[in-house]
A and B are shown apart, each in its own frame.
Chain A
Amino acid sequence: MSVTSWLVSKVKNWQIKREMGYPYAESRPDKQIAYVFDINKCIACQTCSVACKTTWTSGKGQEVMFWNNVETKPYGGYPLRWDLNILKRLNGQSWDKDGTYTGKTVFEAAPQGERVLGWLPREEDYSYPNIGEDECSEIVERGDFFSGIHKVWMFYLARICNHCTYPACLAACPRKAIYKRKEDGIVLIDQSRCRGYRECVRACPYKKTFFNLVTRISEKCIGCYPLIEKGEQPRCVTTCIGKIRLQGFLSKPDSPRKDNPIDFLVYYKKVALPLYPQFGLEPNVYYIPPVHVPREFLYQMFGPGVDNAIETYRNAKNDKELLAVFMLFGSTNRIIHSFKVEREYALGFDNRGELLARVPFNEPVYIRPYFDKKNGTYRHNIP
């Protein structure tokens, strides 16, 4: 059997603006779980990592398993070199001027006898989840620190399973033990069907399926589906102290809804971009790229939409609707289905149109008298 005959279906991948080969037919879920992460606001406090770990992976055999991790770019990566290893194997690919990907996806680049172009990490690769943490791209020259803006850079990349439209883990599983839920697009490994072949671990370019050496089968982020089913956002989102995350549902690419905050950021404003769209999985965690990082690095990581996204982001102060969505990040633990601007407030609603959050564009200022007569004490006004 040749490799091309393995990819029996032609599916539409809007992120690379073309059709691509995939082993199964296009079957978009009714609703697609999606996230927007604003990288510019992440401080790598790891509250998300801890929230996820204590909720889901504090068991035996899950010791070095992080469904959610935050790594420092350019040098960090968990598991070790997850991105470099697959980029090297793809060996340099290209995009057209109009934003069409002309290179090969991990499905199209699969060698003879493999379902997906992949690689299997070593166990040591999971031993350094914080490698490269807080390391800059290069050494800060003497005196630069005090002289204003310096040229070195770094940023924090928070990562979870992308609940891809075309998951490589699902494509690689010879047992069909991985499935994508029709109701919300969450990708799950059937814990009673998996036999621990690690084909998914080998195939996922983001390395977000993990092998449990005690149960001897693989596990992955479950998108906190018990919360999603109750209309609540996942743990990693609601615990984020920097309020960098918003979870919602992305509409199908041919029927976006402007009042859906996720659609608004991804389809309308194009301010949030997929991570390594060139892999061809149509990942559903969208990142607002960091504004101070060299563009070449960002083009490789987020594709050709980077310049537009950064320009839009920098102009947010003049765009009330965009600002409104940004302010709804971290404003409620419920899933926001629609938003609107009402005078000086950003409003978020659930799927029945009930108000979930009401955030003022400008926080009101209260000035308290220096001496509090009622309590007989002096007060300082702290912003």
Chain B
Amino acid sequence: MLRRGILLLLIGVLSFIGYSYAQQNSIRSVKVKEVPLRDVESSIWEKAPVTRVKLLPQNMIPPFLDKISIPYIDVRSVHNGEWIAFLLEWKDETRDAVVDVDKFTDQVAIQLPLDPKNLPAFMMGNKNGRVQIIHWKAIWQDDIEKGYRDVQTLHPNYWVDLYFFPERPIYAEGEFPQEPSVMHFKTPEAINYMPGIYARNPVAILDRKEPVEEAMAEGFGTFTTQPKQNARGWGRWKNGSWKVIIARPLVSDDVNDAPIYEKTFVAFAVWNGSDKNVGARKQYAPWVELFVER
């Protein structure tokens, strides 16, 4: 009986420590003159305090992530009254920025509640408890910087006899066809054979302008791309670490964007491509308090 009492006391103390840690675990967005939207190494970031956010494996609804491979992310935030930006930094030994059936890209996302007073569920919100999600992917970063990540990016020596939508007769006059696949794939005929692009799937965009996608959700499986995209982003991988900026207007006229009050909340999700993280197989952090300096 006594032993059980000590055990309960110990559990109590431990949970109190955990609780106080969570209380300290808040993010302060510091007011600065200029918000770096692309420069992850900018000295402006040093003006903001770092908050280390612990990550957990998604194991609430199948498919689960068995074990986390990224234990935490470091978060900083700055704003200038016009833009609010987050610098997200985490350790990842491999830079994964291509996809194939068994290849996955590194990703990170932030989530903001539309109504912080009636805080929605931290995992994608809930029915009538809407959240805004801004999602960055390494493959989108490369799409923009290096050109669309294509079959030849993954398989430079891949050979295809013939596609049925040539722009010009590439096999004529004994000429050796140069990169036949790359030449044609933006023609309407080619797009007929790329159903995802033809259907305007927001994942399948050949000329992406920003490496982030803005979305909204009201629970598991409801991730929906916003009609209006006004978020920005940029990422850099160096020496086994990702540094990713996710930014959005501080005051937005988009009804689907979360209003940012002096005090609100932010949640995170991180995917490690080399660990085959995708979709629900992710590490996440539940709501963290966000204080926005005025």
Identify which of A52-60, A256-264, A322-330, A331-339 touches chain B.
A52-60
Contact, CB under 8 Å: A174 / B280: yes
Q: List which B27-78 residues lie within 8 A (CB) of chain A.
A: 59-64, 66
Identify which of B7-15, B115-123, B190-198, B251-259 touches chain A.
B190-198
Contact, CB under 8 Å: A60 / B151: yes
Contact, CB under 8 Å: B220 / A60: no
Q: Given A115-B63, A191-B199, A213-B154: A59 and B279 within 8 A (CB)?
A: no
Q: Which residues on the A side are within 8 Å of B192 (C-beta)?
A: 59
Q: Does A13 contact B (CB under 8 A)?
A: no
Contact, CB under 8 Å: B198 / A191: yes
Contact, CB under 8 Å: A216 / B102: no
Q: Which residues on the A side are within 8 Å of B99 (C-beta)?
A: 196, 211, 213, 216
Interface string of A168-197 (1 = CB under 8 A from B): 000010111000000000000001111111
Q: Which residues on the B side are within 8 Å of A113 (C-beta)?
A: 59, 62-64, 66
Report the minimum CB–CB distance from B153 to chain A (whole Å): 9
Q: Which residues on the B side are within 8 Å of A110 (C-beta)?
A: 62
Q: Does B263 contact A (CB under 8 A)?
A: no
Report the minimum CB–CB distance from A125 to chain B (whole Å): 8
Closest to B206 in A: A214
Q: Does A63 contact B (CB under 8 A)?
A: yes
Complex Cα spacing A54 to B139, Å: 30
Contact, CB under 8 Å: B62 / A114: yes
Interface size bracket, B side? 35 or more
- Other-chain contact of A59, B59, B60, B101, B194 (Cβ < 8 Å): B194
Q: Does A50 contact B (CB under 8 A)?
A: no
Report the minimum CB–CB distance from B141 to chain A (whole Å): 14
Q: Does B203 contact A (CB under 8 A)?
A: yes
Interface string of B170-197 (1 = CB under 8 A from A): 0000000000010001000010111111
Contact, CB under 8 Å: B279 / A174: yes
Q: Does B150 contact A (CB under 8 A)?
A: yes
Complex Cα spacing A199 to B101, Å: 10
- Other-chain contact of A195, B158, B193, B279 (Cβ < 8 Å): B279
Contact, CB under 8 Å: A198 / B66: no
Closest to A217 in B: B196
Contact, CB under 8 Å: A215 / B201: yes
A60, A61, A197, A211 interface centre (most CB from chain B within 10 Å)? A60
- Other-chain contact of B201, A1, A62, A176, A191 (Cβ < 8 Å): A191
Q: Given A60-B190, A61-B151, A121-B102: A199 and B63 within 8 A (CB)?
A: yes
- Other-chain contact of B195, A58, A191, A211 (Cβ < 8 Å): A191
Q: Does A123 contact B (CB under 8 A)?
A: yes
Report the minimum CB–CB distance from B273 to chain A (whole Å): 13
Q: Given A215-B195, A215-B201, A217-B201: A175 and B102 within 8 A (CB)?
A: no
Contact, CB under 8 Å: B204 / A215: yes
Q: Does A11 contact B (CB under 8 A)?
A: no
Q: Which residues on the A side are within 8 Å of B195 (C-beta)?
A: 59, 191, 215, 219
Complex Cα spacing A127 to B202, Å: 29
- Other-chain contact of A63, B101, B139, B158, B201 (Cβ < 8 Å): B158
Complex Cα spacing A72 to B92, Å: 43
Q: Does A201 contact B (CB under 8 A)?
A: yes
Q: Does B238 contact A (CB under 8 A)?
A: no
Q: Given A58-B164, A114-B63: A216 and B151 within 8 A (CB)?
A: no
Contact, CB under 8 Å: A63 / B100: no
Contact, CB under 8 Å: A192 / B279: no
Complex Cα spacing A287 to B64, Å: 36
Q: Which residues on the B side are within 8 Å of A120 (C-beta)?
A: 101-102, 276
Q: Does A122 contact B (CB under 8 A)?
A: yes
Closest to B201 in A: A192
- Other-chain contact of A176, B60, B151, B200, B221 (Cβ < 8 Å): B221
Closest to A190 in B: B199
Contact, CB under 8 Å: B101 / A198: yes
Closest to A192 in B: B199
Contact, CB under 8 Å: A1 / B101: no
Contact, CB under 8 Å: A213 / B100: yes
Report the minimum CB–CB distance from A307 to chain B (whole Å): 38
Closest to A211 in B: B101
Q: Which residues on the A side are within 8 Å of B64 (C-beta)?
A: 112-114
Q: Does B278 contact A (CB under 8 A)?
A: yes
B61, B66, B198, B201 interface centre (most CB from chain A within 10 Å)? B201
Q: Does B160 contact A (CB under 8 A)?
A: yes
Q: Given A121-B101, A175-B223: A6 and B62 within 8 A (CB)?
A: yes
Contact, CB under 8 Å: A197 / B62: no
Contact, CB under 8 Å: A213 / B200: no
Contact, CB under 8 Å: B220 / A197: no
Q: Does B103 contact A (CB under 8 A)?
A: yes
Closest 9 CB pairs of A and B: A59-B193, A215-B196, A113-B64, A197-B279, A191-B199, A215-B204, A192-B199, A211-B101, A217-B196
A-B contact pairs, 29 of them (CB 8 A): A1-B61, A58-B164, A59-B165, A60-B193, A114-B63, A115-B63, A120-B102, A120-B276, A174-B220, A175-B223, A191-B196, A191-B198, A191-B199, A192-B199, A192-B201, A195-B279, A196-B99, A196-B278, A197-B280, A199-B279, A201-B101, A213-B99, A213-B100, A213-B101, A213-B151, A214-B151, A214-B194, A216-B203, A217-B203
Chain A interface residues toward B at CB < 8 A: 1, 3, 6, 54, 57-63, 110, 112-115, 120-123, 125-126, 172, 174-176, 191-199, 201, 210-217, 219
Contacts A194-B201, A214-B194 known; 13 new A-B pairs at CB < 8 A: A60-B190, A61-B151, A61-B194, A63-B160, A113-B59, A114-B63, A121-B102, A123-B100, A123-B102, A174-B220, A175-B221, A175-B223, A192-B199
Chain B interface residues toward A at CB < 8 A: 59-64, 66, 99-103, 139, 150-151, 154, 158, 160, 162-165, 181, 185, 190, 192-201, 203-204, 220-221, 223, 276, 278-280
